[in-house]
Structure 1
Amino acid sequence: MEDKHMLMIPGPTPVPEKVLLSLAKHPIGHRSGDFSKVIAEINQGLKWLHQTKNEVLSLTVSGTGAMEAGMINFLSPGDRVLVGVNGKFGDRWAQIAEAFGMKTERISAEWGQPLDTEEFRTKLEADTNKEIKAVIITHSETSTGVLNDLETINKHVKAHGEALIIVDAVTSLGAYNIPIDDWGLDVVASGSQKGYMIPPGLGFVCVSDKAWAAYENSKYPRFYMDLGKYKKANAKDSSPFTPPVNLMYGLQTALQMMQREGLENIFARHQRLTKASRAAAKAMGLKLFAPDNAASTAVTAIEPAPIDAEKIRVNIRKKYDIALAGGQDHLKGKIFRIGHLGFVSDRDLLTAISCLEATVIELGADNFDPKAGVKAAAAALA
């Protein structure tokens, strides 16, 4: 059947009809007074969502672009940085740091396991000369469904006193409570196609006063990614370069929807969907890839051996037109991932779980009650 495609991946995520209609509006001049009003409302909404009084800057980039901007605006060639690596995206930030000539030290954990916070404490406490300039962390590691303990790692960074904390919150911003000002986070990057409920194309960087002080000493050349330009434009409810006008309309509408739902309800919904997804997997005898105490609220990774994970994805896509995410790099074919991020409801998850049950039965699984997954998910949602 046409137009029945259902996204259950950690990005792009489903887009509400109200947002789609906003995207379809006629664009207006991005230097007009009317569009300045749109930017002003968006800027206030972004501060609300980020729980901050700091500037939240909107860039026409992906989440990777937001993270790169968050690194090159506040650091310099040769700076020593610690990068947490326990998945594809932590590894990506280490690669970016290395590409820009930073002295990059990886603190690694096995994919599927959370970062060891004590390793950060040990490294930071040993740095008596204050050579470490930043700690770079992926909060929700999308590739594995692991939520790293950002709050504890940040406490160790704060005890160090000198280092910045730079956070990839691409799949946790809007899905998990991150009180940026209360925790004193310095640079927090995110992307539009995740918890924001709009299509890809916008990246966001929240910047603290401490990070802006570091900006003054950064030695990297930059132009389009110069966050100082965005800060000056923000103060005038404008943008330094041509913004994606229609995406901004969509963002305006999405933020209005989120404010009506309320932060506590948004976080509770994501927690509920996470618990239901994991309960369903366990009831079906499927192995969860991330431990319960480090479960991402954006995506649940499942290791379905002996069934091939790619067969599950292909079958559920062909028969039910539901998109699940696959494993990345060495995990391809070994895990699949259920996204429950952004505009995803209890109904959506129950639909996906029931179709998953039918799919694994069709592929030969017979070691569970055929209704066990839906029952477990329904109980968790209740």
Structure 2
Amino acid sequence: MLVTDTLIVTPGPTEIPHRILLAMAKRTTNPDLDPGFFKLYDEARLMLANMLGTEKRNIVIWVGEAMSGLEAAVANLIRGNDKVAVLSNGFFGDAFSDLVSSYGGIPLLHRVNYSTVLDPDKVASFLRNEAKEAKVVTMVHCETPSGTLNNLKELAKVIKSEGKLLIVDAVSSMGGVNIDVKWGIDILIGGSQKVLNLPSGLTILAISDDAWGEIEKVNYKGFYLNIRYWKDAVERMEFPYTHSEPLVNGLVESLKMINEEGLSNVYSRHRSIAHGVVKAIESMGLKLVPDLEDYSSPTVTAFYVPNGLSDVKVREAALKYGAFIAGSWGPLRGRVLRIGHMGYTASLSIMTSTLTALAKALNDSGYRVKIGDVIEAFLSGVSA
């Protein structure tokens, strides 16, 4: 190996900054009993509430990979035979159908091609016709397998105008893209291992007053995924089960880093870096998965592997040069490569190293590119 450190530039889990690593290494106490931990947890809730446009009483942070939050949202809002409008433009959007079915709901699927995004007008028509009886709507904000970002603000407006409850998977966008729960989001789900640059293990939920009311009515009987048990947990100083102090320490540090930079600056940085990466990919003669750059997410770029090349071989070659990039899932498996520019990794230095490694990997694989031109395209794109 020619490198001593490998940059994790997958679309989650991500590279962890030293500040967060140091925060997670602090001496821990007993999070069940120590009043100081409840204060720490509440600090994280307040910063998340400010970032997401809600109140801290509506924020829940629990131990469990973000998939637990997606399942919990369905489990706590769906009764048997409830009809659910499942909006999908990709692999994870489709997956909501399986979750709905597993809890006895009836999924009504509105699917568009993975290379495009959900159209608010077509969604409105679907909700007024095929899904008129649906109580709940599910959707994914950022589809990482295809690198697309749906227009959450406009979609939420349409969905709420039809009187539906909205569940949003924001696992790969929270912290890197502006999200305001007041747009009409009822349960928003985030995860620690994406833009927030922590290890996997925390789920973040932002829950509307309407959703709290429906959660009480549904009265889900499970334990670990029961959102009701987390309501007023800080005020009661009693969590349903033992929390992870190292992860919450890391989360607080991550949110402090975001606040120090300023939310608008964070979002602008992600957009600029993403545009630069897109321009670099195009300079190599590679094709983006999204039909238009406007559909691309600021947190991940997905592009097709050149004909005749193995995605695995390209990834292995890039790793040799110090960049751990990703393949894709579902129908895109084996055909697509992805670069995550999330949080800390949405930076000039990290993306310059990543794109250099990718260019070297392609050259080693027989697909010729000029590294200097690639980096120039990236830097020009960032500054555009």
TM-score range, shorter chain: over 0.9
Deviations 1:148-178 (A, max 9, x none): 12222212211112x1010000001111111
In the alignment, does 2:118 pair up with 1:115? yes
Match of 1:154 among 153, 156, 165: 156
Match of 2:221 in 1: 221
The Cα shift of 1:75 comes to 2.2
Looking at structure 1, the residues matched to 227 and 220 of structure 2 have their Cα atoms a distance apart, in angstroms, of 12
Corresponding residue SS for 1:221? coil
The Cα shift of 1:71 comes to 1.6
The Cα shift of 1:3 comes to 4.9
CA RMSD of aligned residues (A): 1.7
Looking at structure 2, the residues matched to 321 and 335 of structure 1 have their Cα atoms a distance apart, in angstroms, of 20
Looking at structure 1, the residues matched to 222 and 328 of structure 2 have their Cα atoms a distance apart, in angstroms, of 34
The Cα shift of 1:86 comes to 2.2
118-127 or 167-176, larger mean C-alpha shift: 118-127
Match of 2:100 in 1: 97
The Cα shift of 1:238 comes to 5.0
Looking at structure 1, the residues matched to 311 and 130 of structure 2 have their Cα atoms a distance apart, in angstroms, of 44
In 2, are the aligned partners of 1:76 and 1:219 still within 8 Å (CA)?
Answer: no
Give the TM-score normalised by structure 1: 0.94
Match of 1:300 in 2: 301
Looking at structure 2, the residues matched to 75 and 254 of structure 1 have their Cα atoms a distance apart, in angstroms, of 33
In 1, are the aligned partners of 2:85 and 2:127 still within 8 Å (CA)?
Answer: no
Match of 2:129 in 1: 126
Match of 2:247 in 1: 247
Match of 1:9 in 2: 10
The Cα shift of 1:311 comes to 2.0
In 1, are the aligned partners of 2:8 and 2:15 still within 8 Å (CA)?
Answer: yes
Give me the identity figure in percent: 30
Summarize the alignment of residues 1-382 of structure 1 with structure 2, pairs less than 5 Å apart.
Answer: 3-30=4-31, 31-53=33-55, 55-126=58-129, 131-161=133-163, 163-181=164-182, 183-236=183-236, 238-290=238-290, 291-306=292-307, 307-317=309-319, 319-344=320-345, 345-366=347-368, 368-382=369-383
The Cα shift of 1:236 comes to 4.0
Corresponding residue SS for 2:174? coil
Structure 1 regions of 5+ residues with no counterpart? none
The Cα shift of 1:109 comes to 1.6
Q: Which amino acid aligns with 1:172?
A: S
Looking at structure 2, the residues matched to 169 and 72 of structure 1 have their Cα atoms a distance apart, in angstroms, of 18
Q: Given the superposition, is the C-alpha separation of residues 3 and 78 from structure 1 closer, same or farther in structure 2, using an over 3 Å criterion?
A: farther
Looking at structure 1, the residues matched to 42 and 253 of structure 2 have their Cα atoms a distance apart, in angstroms, of 13
In 1, are the aligned partners of 2:78 and 2:103 still within 8 Å (CA)?
Answer: no
Equivalent residues, number: 377
The Cα shift of 1:362 comes to 2.0
Q: Given the superposition, is the C-alpha separation of residues 237 and 296 from structure 1 closer, same or farther in structure 2, using an over 3 Å criterion?
A: farther
Looking at structure 1, the residues matched to 107 and 370 of structure 2 have their Cα atoms a distance apart, in angstroms, of 49
Looking at structure 1, the residues matched to 36 and 242 of structure 2 have their Cα atoms a distance apart, in angstroms, of 15
Deviations 1:61-120 (A, max 9, x none): 111101111121122111111112222211221111111111101111222221233332
Corresponding residue SS for 2:72? helix
Corresponding residue SS for 1:293? helix
Corresponding residue SS for 1:204? strand
Looking at structure 2, the residues matched to 254 and 309 of structure 1 have their Cα atoms a distance apart, in angstroms, of 32
Looking at structure 2, the residues matched to 157 and 235 of structure 1 have their Cα atoms a distance apart, in angstroms, of 33
Looking at structure 2, the residues matched to 235 and 147 of structure 1 have their Cα atoms a distance apart, in angstroms, of 36
Q: Given the superposition, is the C-alpha separation of residues 41 and 219 from structure 1 closer, same or farther in structure 2, using an over 3 Å criterion?
A: closer
Q: Which amino acid aligns with 1:231?
A: K
The Cα shift of 1:221 comes to 2.0
Q: Which amino acid aligns with 1:151?
A: K
Looking at structure 2, the residues matched to 365 and 314 of structure 1 have their Cα atoms a distance apart, in angstroms, of 15
Corresponding residue SS for 2:36? helix
Looking at structure 1, the residues matched to 337 and 79 of structure 2 have their Cα atoms a distance apart, in angstroms, of 38
In 2, are the aligned partners of 1:361 and 1:370 still within 8 Å (CA)?
Answer: no
Q: Given the superposition, is the C-alpha separation of residues 293 and 19 from structure 1 closer, same or farther in structure 2, using an over 3 Å criterion?
A: same
Corresponding residue SS for 2:218? coil
In 2, are the aligned partners of 1:37 and 1:237 still within 8 Å (CA)?
Answer: no
Q: Given the superposition, is the C-alpha separation of residues 69 and 234 from structure 1 closer, same or farther in structure 2, using an over 3 Å criterion?
A: farther
Corresponding residue SS for 1:343? helix
Structure 2 regions of 5+ residues with no counterpart? none
In 1, are the aligned partners of 2:149 and 2:295 still within 8 Å (CA)?
Answer: yes
Looking at structure 2, the residues matched to 137 and 332 of structure 1 have their Cα atoms a distance apart, in angstroms, of 21
Q: Which amino acid aligns with 1:355?
A: A
Give the TM-score normalised by structure 2: 0.94
In 2, are the aligned partners of 1:85 and 1:109 still within 8 Å (CA)?
Answer: yes
Looking at structure 2, the residues matched to 316 and 127 of structure 1 have their Cα atoms a distance apart, in angstroms, of 46
In 2, are the aligned partners of 1:10 and 1:299 still within 8 Å (CA)?
Answer: yes
The Cα shift of 1:7 comes to 0.5
Deviations 1:258-277 (A, max 9, x none): 11111101101110111011
In 2, are the aligned partners of 1:139 and 1:148 still within 8 Å (CA)?
Answer: yes
Looking at structure 2, the residues matched to 127 and 115 of structure 1 have their Cα atoms a distance apart, in angstroms, of 16
In 2, are the aligned partners of 1:10 and 1:340 still within 8 Å (CA)?
Answer: yes
Looking at structure 1, the residues matched to 184 and 114 of structure 2 have their Cα atoms a distance apart, in angstroms, of 28
The Cα shift of 1:210 comes to 0.9
Q: Which amino acid aligns with 2:115?
A: G
The Cα shift of 1:208 comes to 0.3
The Cα shift of 1:44 comes to 0.9
